[in-house]
Amino acid sequence: MDLASLKSASGSNRSRKRVGRGEGSGSGVTAGRGNKGQHSRSGSKRRPWFEGGQMPLQRRLPKFGFTNYDRNRYQIVNLLDLNKIDDSDDITPELLKSKGLIKNANRPVKLLGSGALEKKFKVSVHAISKSAKDSVEKLGGSVTLL
């Protein structure tokens, strides 16, 4: 078996119906468009969001909310996640990325204090909570803000 011998299942590909090709074809005359009216004419189109003149949904619903595009979206790492790292004592965004704890080493990282830390680390992150900083320094580690 090779790519040249592949065929689609029988009956799965039907030829398209050619409409408007005479009365004998069974779909001549109006070609399935009904009689008269806007959508029987060529060039007419109805946009997917058009609701027949009814007040459209995007205008019926109220406007709300605000998105701040300057917001720092931190990638969150907890202290209990650091316990999974056993072969290094320097914690950097690149190391966290290689261990699969964050998705992108270029986006800012914040260390939060959930869980208990079991080992001494030198931590380099963009932001850290007070409880996480206390836990790292209590074990003799150090914190550097990038």
Q: pLDDT-based confidence at 46, cuts 50/70/90?
A: confident
Rg of the chain over all Cα atoms, to the nearest angstrom: 32
DSSP string, the chain: --GGG--PPTTSSPPPP--SS-GGGSS-TTTTS-SSSGGGSTT----TT--TTSPPHHHHSPP-----TT---PEEEEHHHHTT--S-SEE-HHHHHHTTS-S-TTS-EEEE--S---S--EEEESEE-HHHHHHHHHTT-EEEE-
78 and 113 Cβ atoms separated by less than 8 Å: yes
User: What pLDDT score does 39 carry?
Assistant: 86
What is the separation of C-alpha 109 from the centre of its chain, rounded to a whole number of angstroms? Answer: 20
User: What pLDDT score does 12 carry?
Assistant: 93
Residue 57: pLDDT over 90:
yes
Across 10-14, average pLDDT: 92
User: What pLDDT score does 38 carry?
Assistant: 86
CA 110/CA 9 separation, integer angstroms: 54
Ordered by where they begin, the domains of the chain are 75-145 (3.100.10.10)
